[in-house]
Structure 1
Amino acid sequence: MASAIDEGDMKTNPGRFFEDYRLGEVIAHAVPRTLSGGERALYHALYPARHALYSSDEFARASGLAAAPMDDLIAFHTVFGKTVPDISLNAVANLGYAEGRWLRPVWPGDTLMSKSEIIGLKENSNGKSGVVWLRTRGLNQRGEAVLDYVRWVMVLKRDISRPAPEPVVPTLAASVAAADLVVPAGLDFSRYDRGLAGEPHLWEDYAVGEKIDHVDGVTVEESEHMLATRLWQNTAKVHFDATNRADGRRLIYGGHVISLARALSFNGLANAQMIVALNAGAHANPCFAGDTVRAWSEVLDKAETAAPGVGALRLRLVAVRHGAAEFALRGDDGKYLPEVLLDLDYWALMPCGA
Structure 2
Amino acid sequence: MTKTNAGRFFEDYTVGDVITHAVPRTVSGGERALYHALYPARGALYSSDEFARACGLSGSPVDDLITFHTVFGKTVPDVSLNAVANLGYAEGRWLRPVYTGDTLVSQSEVIGLKQNSNGKSGVVWVRTTGRNQRGEDVLSYVRWVMVRKRGEGDAPQTVIPELAEAVALGDLVIPEGLTFKDYDLTLAGEPHRLRDYAVGEVIDHVDGVTIEEAEHMLATRLWQNTAKVHFDATNRADGKRLIYGGHVISLARALSFNGLANAQMIVALNGGAHANPCFAGDTVRAWSEVLDVAETDAPGVGAIRLRLVVTKGAAGVLRGEDGKYHADVLLDLDYWALMPV
TM-score strictly above 0.5: yes
User: 1:165 offset after TM fit, Å?
Assistant: 1.6
Q: Deviations over 1:17-36 (max 9, x none)?
A: 00000110000000000001
Q: Name the SS of the counterpart of 1:171 in structure 2.
A: coil
Letter in 2 for 1:223: A
Distance in 2, matches of 1:231 and 1:48, equals: 17
Q: Could you tell me which amino acid in structure 1 is paired with residue 277 of structure 2?
A: P
Q: Indicate whether 1:45 and 2:37 are aligned.
A: yes
Q: CA offsets per residue over residues 311-349 of structure 1, 9 Å max, x none? A: 00000000002x4x3301011111100000000000000
SS, match of residue 3 in structure 2: coil
Question: What is the CA-CA distance between 1:39 and the residue it aligns to?
Answer: 0.1
Separation in structure 1 between the aligned mates of residue 172 and residue 86 of structure 2, nearest angstrom: 25
Q: Tell me how far apart the structure 1 counterparts of residues 236 and 116 of structure 2 sit (CA, whole Å).
A: 19
Matched, 1:25 2:14: no
> d(CA) in 1 for partners of 2:98 and 2:315?
36
CA-CA distance at 1:246 after TM superposition: 1.0
Partner amino acid, structure 1, of 2:201: E
CA–CA separation in structure 2 for the residues paired with 1:209 and 1:68: 32
Q: Deviations over 1:206-235 (max 9, x none)?
A: 000000000001110101001000000000
- Residue 141 of structure 1: how far off its partner (Å): 0.4
The correspondence for 2:336, drawn from 327, 330, 347, is: 347
Distance in 2 between the 1:150 and 1:257 partners?
18
Asked whether 1:121 is paired with 2:113, we answer: yes
The equivalent residue for 1:6 is none
Per-residue Cα deviation, 1:149-205 (whole angstroms, up to 9, x for no partner): 000000000011x21221100000000000100000000101000000000000000
Q: Is the 8 A contact 2:130 2:140 kept in 1?
A: yes
Give the TM-score normalised by the residue count of structure 2. Answer: 0.99
Matches within 5 A, 1:165-176: 165-176=156-167
Alpha-carbon distance in structure 2 between the residues aligned to 1:303 and 1:201: 15
Quote the Cα distance in structure 2 between the aligned partners of 1:56 and 1:326: 31
Partners of 1:51 and 1:96 in 2: how far apart? 25
Match status 1:332 vs 2:321: yes
Q: Distance in 2 between matches of 1:272 and 1:71?
A: 12
Partner of 1:35: 27
* Unaligned segments of structure 2, at least 5 residues: none
Q: Write the distance in 1 (CA, Å) between the matches of 2:315 and 2:279.
A: 21
2:195 pairs with one of 204, 208, 226 = 204
Specify the SS of the correspondent of 2:164.
coil
Does the residue aligned with 1:75 lie in a helix, a strand or coil? Answer: helix
SS state at 1:260 partner: helix
Matched letter for residue 337 of structure 1: H
Identity, % of aligned positions: 80
2:84 to 89, 92, 102: 92
* Partner Cα separation in structure 1 for residue 328 and residue 126 of structure 2: 28
Question: Aligned residue for 2:210?
Answer: 219
SS at match of 1:243: helix
One-letter amino acid of the counterpart of residue 219, structure 2: A
Task: Give 5+ residue unaligned stretches, structure 1.
Answer: 1-8
Q: Which amino acid aligns with 1:85?
A: P
Cα separation, 2, equivalents of 1:151 and 1:316: 18
Rounded Cα–Cα distance in structure 2 between residues aligned with 1:293 and 1:269: 18
**In structure 2, distance between residues paired with 1:132 and 1:118:** 7
In the alignment, does 2:305 pair up with 1:314? Answer: yes
Which residue in 2 is equivalent to 1:61? Answer: 53
Letter matched to residue 333 of structure 2:
L
Give runs of ≥4 in structure 1 deviating > 4 Å. none
Counterpart CA distance in 1 for 2:167 and 2:54 is 28
Aligned length: 341
1:289 alignment partner, one of 273, 280, 284: 280
- Verify: 1:132 aligned to 2:124, yes or no: yes
Q: Which amino acid aligns with 1:347?
A: W
- Does structure 1 retain, via aligned residues, the 8 Å contact 2:286–2:315? no
Contact 2:89–2:272 under 8 Å retained in 1: yes
State the partner residue of 1:77.
69
In the alignment, the residues of structure 1 paired with residue 279 and residue 273 of structure 2 have an alpha-carbon distance, to the nearest angstrom, of 16
Is the Cα–Cα contact under 8 Å of residues 112 and 126 in structure 2 kept in the other structure?
A: yes
Q: Distance in 2 between matches of 1:304 and 1:192?
A: 15
Query: Aligned to 1:230, which of 214, 221, 242?
Result: 221
| Structure 2 CA distance for aligned equivalents of residues 191 and 120 of structure 1 | 45
Q: Deviations over 1:228-263 (max 9, x none)?
A: 000000000000111111111100000000000000
Partner in structure 1 of residue 240 of structure 2: 249
Q: Is the 8 A contact 2:166 2:271 kept in 1?
A: yes
The CA RMSD measured in Å over matched residues stands at 0.5
